[in-house]
Amino acid sequence: MVVRKATVEDAEAMALIIAAVAEEGSIGTEPPVDVEERAARYRDLIAEPGLTGAWVLDDGGRVLGAASARERVTGVLHLGMSILPEARGQGGGRALLATILEHARTGGAHKVELEVWTDNARAIALYVSAGFEVEGLRRRHYRRRDGRLRSSLLMAQLVD
């Protein structure tokens, strides 16, 4: 598996990954995912200039994971990442994170931030092992379609 910069041709595969992972309930996106609309959003993100960018985890031409970083605040990249279940535990998430952190450093960002469900222990452990720290808690912040309220951790790493 290799990490490479995403191209517009990867947009549909990236959207399909989001749709698959959304079914697990481990990310903020809820099913059903409009794959066509999500792919269009990825194409726009990939074409965006500046620090914003997207990367994929490629295994011989098959996209198994995707990550994006959007500059929401000057110098701060907001990270989103999803990996298909069969590709987890093989270093792909760590490789995607390392690529984005290097992109942030070389691109002039001073911080990378993310948000993760409080019960996503596997993702939290990965982020902590990569140097991210908890900066806050959004307690019962997100109302899901079924009415449940979810809490999330705000995590970040200074990269300058």
Reference 112, options 159, 74, 151, 73; nearest CA is 159
Res 11: pLDDT: 98
Q: Which positions of the chain have pLDDT values less than 70? A: none
Contact between 38 and 10 under an 8 Å Cβ cutoff? The reply is: no
What are the residues facing 14 on neighbouring strands? Answer: none
**DSSP secondary structure code for residue 33 in this structure:** P
Range of the domain at 67: 2-158
What pLDDT score was predicted for residue 37?
98
pLDDT, tens digit, 9 for 90 and up, residues 59-79 = 999 999 999 999 999 999 999
Cβ contact 46:6 at 8 Å: yes
Determine the pLDDT at residue 60: 96
Give, to the nearest 10 degrees, the angle between helix 92-107 and helix 121-129. 50
The reported pLDDT for the residue numbered 73 is 95
Looking at residue 47, its pLDDT comes to 94
DSSP E strands, 31-86: 53-59, 62-73, 76-83
pLDDT at 111: 98
Give the CATH number for residue 77. 3.40.630.30
Cα diameter, the chain: 42
Please enumerate, as own/partner, the contacts of 13-16 that have beta carbons within 8 Å and a separation of 24 or more: 13/56, 13/63, 13/66, 14/38, 14/39, 14/42, 14/54, 14/56, 14/63, 14/66, 15/39, 15/42
Six token digits for residue 109: 């960002």
pLDDT at position 119, please? 96
Give the chain's domain count. Answer: 1
Q: What is the pTM (predicted TM-score) of this model?
A: 0.94
